[in-house]
Amino acid sequence: MSSGAVTANDNTLSDPRHRAPLVAGKQDYASITETVCRIAERDKTPRAWYVAFAVSASLTGMLFLLIGYLFITGVGVWGNNSPVFWGWPIVNFVFWVGIGHAGTLISAILFLFRQQWRTSINRFAEAMTIFAVCCAGIFPGIHIGRIWCVYWLAPYPNQMEMWPNFRSPLLWDVFAVSTYATVSALFWYLGMIPDLATLRDRATNPWRRLAYGTFALGWRGSARQWHRYERAYLLLAALATPLVLSVHSVVSFDFAVSQVPGWHTTIFPPYFVAGAIFSGFAMVVTLMVPARAFFGLKELVTLRHLENMNKIILATSCIVGYAYATEFFIAWYSGSQYELFAFLNRALGPYKWAYWTMVFCNVVVPHLFWFKKCRTTPWIMMIVAILVNVGMWFERFVIIVTSLSRDFLPSSWGAFVPTPIDVAMFVGSFGLFFTLFLLFCRYLPMVAMAEVKAAVSHGIEGHGH
């Protein structure tokens, strides 16, 4: 890694005397607007988009049909049984909530850390966050068995003497996830207003102008509006920052407040948060690599952006590995036979294939990112990111299924086998995710133009040297 001059096309070189440019090529305000807006303004939708949309919309349809089937028939259509009362639906819930963590981390925490590179990817990641939370929200809702009692999940007035159980972490989950979804959506929308106004101003078709104009809320870009906007953005970022930590901490409480061996360990909250960020960034990379190529965004979402995300994946992988190791060590150190059994059973028992898949994908593979070559080669990072997604799904599977399938009494031991409905609903949730994602890519500004422009101008006029 010699410290050569930073060229316009490769901004991954590092010379501590200069900051690498945030975007590649010769970009000015007009070219940034053009690059981003032309995707949403294209007259003819590309055929590939239709194909992808047809596939994902069909899968979404399948998901909702299966939900209907589930409502009519009951949760017996899943593999959930005694003692594994929480099967795939809760695995999927935790998986999707985790995916939804990169967006707010990028938009809130990296904003507070003044990481200007976030501007090229935040819109995309936030959109992904919201879609992932939509997918996540479905599973606990349909998991309750008696669907006509679904409103018991929400805290509601107690005329019917049905008091919400405030001592249950499942109730805290409803609060945590719904707060997170609300704030993420607000943050995403607020950030998009100036860009929606740009699309409105460029619109040649009156319907488009009306649609974008409605959602742009009368944005004119005056100094006063910008002033208010910046303040609101900073405040929302500060409010969203604790949410990044709180949501997955509360999700971890679902497990850790219990006395189930393998679930009850004090490192769970920060470990779950790190895992969520890990999987969220992996999903951003998985989607960003093809999207930036397909939509011609390579100069705005540069290799450096991907490299930075890969570094975060590496760092969070190390934290997750640290948590696995600490859990295992403490399981032995505690001297509790149940704890130790739970962990040995994970590594050596009937689900060892799942455990070692998890370890391989989450703890071994990401170490490729110590090498710059792997951090900056799209196809390699794509493979690593997909494996991380696989590994993080298996992590939740391992936590939920191995611990539940081995109850305290050997007479209550059991096994979990997913049904085809389990598999099809999980696949269907990807359909929903991609349907929303494709709509976003087609109709909304994928990159935060206004923010990139501010960051680029900062680079030009910035530090006075």
Partner 1 sequence: MHEIASLDRSRRTDSLGELAPRAAKTAWIVGGAGLALAVLSAVFFDDGWRHFNYSYLVNYAFYLSISLGALSFVALQHATRAGWSVTFRRLNEILAANMPLMAILFIPLALSLFLPAAAPYVWANPDLAEHSPLVQHKQPFLNVPFFLLRSAIYLGLWIWMARFFFTRSIRQDVSGDPELTVQMERFSGPIILLFALTTTFASFDWLMSVEPEWFSSIYGVYYYGGATVGGLAAAILAAMAAQRAGYAAQSITTEHYHDMGKLLFAFVVFWGYIAFSQYMLIWYANIPEETTWYLDRQSSAWLPASIALLLGHLFIPFLGMISREVKRRKVLLGFWCVWLLAFHWLDMFYLVMPSFASDRFPLGLIDLGLLVGLGGLYVGGLLRTAANVALVPTKDPRLPEALAFENL
Chain contacts with partner 1 (rule: CB under 8 A): 1, 3, 14-17, 19, 114, 242, 245, 249, 253, 256-259, 264-270, 314, 318, 322-323, 326-327, 329-330, 333-336, 370, 463-465
Helix (H, G, I), strand (E, B) or coil at 59: helix
Q: How far is the CB of 112 from partner 1 (least distance, A)?
A: 8
Token duo for residue 65: 């049909």
Q: How far is the CB of 225 from partner 1 (least distance, A)?
A: 18
Give burial (CB, 10 Å; 0-12/13-18/19+) of 356.
middle
For partner 1, give the closer residue by CB, 182 or 337.
Answer: 337
The Cα–Cα gap between 427 and 413 comes to 29
Q: How far is the CB of 318 from partner 1 (least distance, A)?
A: 6
Q: How far is the CB of 364 from partner 1 (least distance, A)?
A: 15
Q: How far is the CB of 137 from partner 1 (least distance, A)?
A: 24
Q: Contact at 8 Å (CB) between 436 and 133?
A: no
Q: How far is the CB of 177 from partner 1 (least distance, A)?
A: 18
For partner 1, give the closer residue by CB, 152 or 338.
Answer: 338
397: left (phi over 0), alpha (psi -120 to 50) or beta: alpha
For partner 1, give the closer residue by CB, 267 or 383.
Answer: 267
For partner 1, give the closer residue by CB, 20 or 382.
Answer: 20
Q: Half-sphere exposure (CA, 13 Å, Cβ side) for 215?
A: 21
Token duo for residue 179: 């707060």
Query: Phi and psi for 227 in degrees, rounded to 5?
Result: -60, -50
Q: How far is the CB of 151 from partner 1 (least distance, A)?
A: 26
For partner 1, give the closer residue by CB, 314 or 342.
Answer: 314
For partner 1, give the closer residue by CB, 97 or 127.
Answer: 97
Q: Contact at 8 Å (CB) between 313 and 388?
A: yes
Answer positive or negative: Cα dihedral of 147, 415, 167, 246.
negative
Cα 129 to the chain's mean position, in Å?
5
Cβ partners under 8 Å of residue 225, min gap 6: 219
Q: How many helices (H) and strands (E) does the chain have?
A: 18, 0
For 134-260, strand residue ranges (E) read none
For partner 1, give the closer residue by CB, 215 or 338.
Answer: 338
